[in-house]
Copies of this chain bind each other. A is one copy, B any other.
Amino acid sequence: MQIVIIGSGNVAYHLAKAFILNTISVAQVFGRNEMELSKISQELNIPYSTEKLEDADLYIICVSDRSVEDVSALITKKDCLVAHTSGSLPKEILKGGYRKSSFYPLQTFSKSKDLDYTQIPFFIETETEDDQKILSDLASEISERVMESTYEKRKYIHLTAVFACNFVNHLFARAKEISDAQEIPFNYFLPLIDETVRKIDTIEPKAAQTGPAVRNDKRIMELHELLLKDESLEIYKTMNHSIQKMYEL
């Protein structure tokens, strides 16, 4: 199977690298940014072009959400499979006479970092079962975590990530406001945060819950509310309410 990767950003780089590391050849990396393309090309020994798209069986589009549609229209070939790598776009965003699909790696890629590709989940949506098999087999060469996923399901994947990552980061930001105001170094809390996260590798988050709300410690909760205001107070009340509902307290 001839594979072409379109794009020169972090997703393009890491996907190309994961393929090469698993002896899956990539026929070309294609894009606009010649400097980035030539770096990928040199490191991974893959031909690149900014002008002529190589003939291929599979094109994987690794560009920003807002460019996917335009880039997809550059592929004029009909007898091929095209995949975008976005978590928040339907496969129908792709514009062309080819078979359409989504090949979504759930990870924040940053170029410098070495990643364990076997642990990166791939969510795949295609028009036909044959194409599902093509992309699943391909993803399975890289990763142990491959599953079919409709656009509908991808919405929930994104939503889960918002709770488990975006909101978690915001709690760190609000926590740091509290400790900063008391001149307590926030990095003092990092070992405890690491412990919190390491715990859920082995224990269900629901079973791992600690703190005043799950202990139903009203004295501490009332005391804490007096120390807070505005958005942090709202978060405190909302989270405690949700914890107490979950444990029927």
A→B interface (CB under 8 Å): 88, 106-108, 116, 119-121, 145, 147, 149, 153, 155-176, 178-179, 181-182, 184-186, 188-197, 199-201, 204-206, 208-214, 220, 223-224, 227-228, 230-232, 234-236, 238-239, 241-243, 245-246
Contacts and interface: CB of A to CB of B under 8 A. Distances in A.
A163 B184 contact: no
Contacts of A158: 220, 224
Quickly give the copy total for this chain.
2
Contacts of A195: 107-108, 165
A217 to B, nearest CB: 9
Contact of A193 (B147, B197, B223, B227): B197
23 contacts: A155-B223, A155-B227, A156-B179, A156-B184, A157-B182, A159-B178, A160-B176, A162-B236, A163-B236, A164-B175, A164-B189, A165-B189, A165-B192, A165-B196, A166-B212, A168-B172, A169-B196, A169-B199, A169-B211, A170-B205, A170-B209, A231-B245, A235-B242
B120 A191 contact: yes
A119 B194 CA distance: 12
Contacts of A209: 166, 169-170, 173
A184 B171 CA distance: 24
B212 A231 contact: no
A195 B184 CA distance: 24
Contacts of A161: 175, 189, 192
Contacts of A156: 178-179, 181-182, 184, 227
B235 A167 contact: yes
B178 A160 contact: yes
A165 to B, nearest CB: 4
A168 B193 contact: yes
Nearest to A203: B169
Nearest to A234: B238
A201 B181 CA distance: 20
Contacts of A171: 163-164, 167-168, 171
A227 B157 CA distance: 11
Contacts of A201: 190
